[in-house]
Structures are given as C-alpha cells and as structure tokens.
C-alpha cells in the first residue's frame, strides 16, 4: 500500500445522505470533514451556472425539461428534494452559492463541466471568471467528459488544474493526458485494474482521481494503487475506512 492516504471528495456533495448537488449535500460534506466536493455545472437559457447532474431536470426535480431551455427563474422554482421528504423545497443551487458556502472552509472543489451532450457556449470562460473572482484557482480542479472543454480551459488559463474524465475501455490514457498537457485523469474505478495503469500515470506526473468509490473493497483497491483522491457518495464512511486501513498498516 502507498504511504499517502487518498483524499476524500464528496460526489455531488454527500449524495448518499442528501439530495444530490444541493446546498444541503455540500453542507453535509463539510460537516463530514470531506477533503473536497465534486459538482456538475450546467447553464440555463439566460446563462446562469447551476449545479445539476443531468441536462434535464426530470430525474431530480418535480419539473420537466432541458436546463438549456429554461430560465434561471423557471428552474429555480422547482423542488430538487428528489423524493427525500425532509429536504422538501430544496432549490437548484448556483455555482456562486456553492462557492460562498465553501469559502470559509479549506475544501477543494472539483468543478465538472457537463458539456458532453449540450455544448453550452462560453461555459468555460464563465466558470473560470467566477473561480478567479473568488480567488479559488488554487483550490479548484476542472474536469469534463468533453475533453474539448478541458482543452479550452487550459487554453484560457494554462495554469488551471484540469483532469480528463472518462469511463473505461481506453488504452494509452496516461500518454494522451500528458500529450494534451493536463494535470490529472479522472477514470471510472475499473481502469485501475488495467496492467501498468498507475505506473504510467506516475511516470507521466498525472494525478489519479477515481469515481465512483463507495464499497470498502474499492476503497482498499484505491489505497493500494496510490490514487490521489476518491470521489464518493459517503465521505464519512470512506474517511473512516481509509483511517482504519492506514492504522492497521502502521501496526504491521
Ligand atoms: O466527476 C466524477 C463523476 O461525477 C463523473 O460522473 O456522471 O457522476 O458526473 P457523473
Ligand atoms: Mg460529476
């Protein structure tokens, strides 16, 4: 096992406990002493940066439709409690509101730009400008499944920390990441099993931040592999399990 504990980032906030991507979920992540939060950014028709995983509001709210076609006022009027009664009335947050919430803390923020389906015009510049307004460039890592978006961020701000998100079945990802000058790979968990994958990442100076990591056996795999961070729905359980793994190691 590597000597460094992986950081614990709360996936869509502490989404195992609260409606995903709501202020309640991000507050819970802070209360649970997560090292960071991960969130998904979309743009409304009038250009507001809002936090929602899906391009449409149907799954997580009581409304219907594409965020790109709705004004902020319209999307804000919906209930995002997502079947959890104690959170009834939860509103879609803006990126600014999450930044305000996180400002007094030391948490890192993984801003995932959801441009895989809708190519929101100008979203990269907007996200950078808000990050700079909050003086957060050193505590934000930008990622996207759309690697053109990640490249755009790097073009606009070469020093911005960026990661390529991807699923599975790819080869040569570390070389590809290095070639495009990015800082991290954000692979789906299963990629850790590919032969030589972590060594290739280390050799290319790439951080590895893995998702989704909720099961103990998967957390253990990440600790063994020496990843930089795990992205989990249960930050409290993940931190406790990582703590116990490293305690056991010290006793051996
Ligand atoms: O950023 C890690 C993870 O959130 C990527 O997948 O679909 O949950 O946004 P998804
Ligand atoms: Mg995400």
So what's the pLDDT on residue 248?
A: 78
Which residues make beta-bridge pairs with 143?
Answer: 112, 163
pLDDT > 70? residue 97: yes
- Of the residues 7, 111, 231, 233, which should be mutated to test ligand 1's pocket, given the most ligand atoms within 8 Å of the CB? 231
**How many other CB atoms sit within 10 Å of the CB of residue 197?**
18
* Any ligand 1 atom below 6 A from CB of 115: no
**What percentage of the chain carries pLDDT values higher than 90?**
93
Mind listing the pLDDT tens digit for each residue in 167-212?
988 899 999 999 999 999 999 999 999 999 999 999 999 999 999 9
- Asked if the 7-251 domain carries CATH number 3.40.50.150, the reply is no
* Alpha-carbon distances of 121 from 43, 82, 112, 115, 238, rounded to whole Å: 9, 28, 15, 9, 37
Report which of 72, 82, 77, 8 is spatially closest to residue 42, judged by C-alpha positions. 72
Q: What is the mean pLDDT of residues 100-104?
A: 98
Q: How do 229-232 and 7-11 pair as beta strands?
A: parallel
- The domain segmentation of the chain, as residue ranges, is 7-251
**Which residue, by CA, sits nearest to atom 7 of ligand 1?**
53
**pLDDT tier for residue 1 given thresholds of 50, 70 and 90:** low
CA 78 – CA 54 distance, rounded (Å): 15
From the alpha carbon of 40, which atom of ligand 1 is closest?
9
């Amino acid at each position: 096992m590597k000597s460094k504990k992986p950081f614990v980032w709360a996936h869509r906030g502490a989404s195992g406990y609260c409606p995903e991507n709501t202020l309640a979920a991000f507050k819970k992540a802070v209360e649970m002493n997560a090292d960071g939060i991960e969130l998904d950014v979309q743009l409304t028709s009038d250009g507001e940066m809002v936090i929602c995983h899906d391009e449409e509001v149907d799954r997580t709210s009581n409304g219907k439709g594409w965020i790109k076609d709705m004004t902020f006022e319209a999307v804000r009027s919906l209930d995002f409690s997502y079947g959890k009664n104690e959170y009834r009335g939860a509103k879609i947050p803006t990126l600014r509101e999450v930044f305000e919430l996180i400002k007094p803390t030391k948490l890192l923020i993984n801003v995932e730009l959801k441009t895989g389906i809708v190519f929101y015009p100008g979203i990269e510049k907007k996200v950078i400008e808000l990050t700079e307004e909050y003086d957060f460039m050193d505590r934000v890592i930008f990622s996207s499944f759309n690697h053109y978006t990640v490249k755009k961020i790097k073009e606009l701000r070469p020093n911005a920390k960026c990661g390529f998100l991807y699923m599975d079945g790819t080869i040569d990802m570390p070389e590809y990441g290095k070639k495009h000058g990015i800082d991290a790979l954000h692979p789906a968990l299963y990629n850790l099993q590919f032969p030589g994958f972590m060594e290739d990442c280390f050799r290319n100076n790439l951080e590895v931040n893995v998702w989704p990591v909720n099961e103990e056996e998967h957390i253990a795999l990440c600790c063994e592999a020496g990843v930089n961070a795990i992205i989990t729905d249960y930050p409290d359980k993940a931190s406790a399990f990582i703590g116990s793994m490293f305690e056991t190691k010290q006793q051996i």
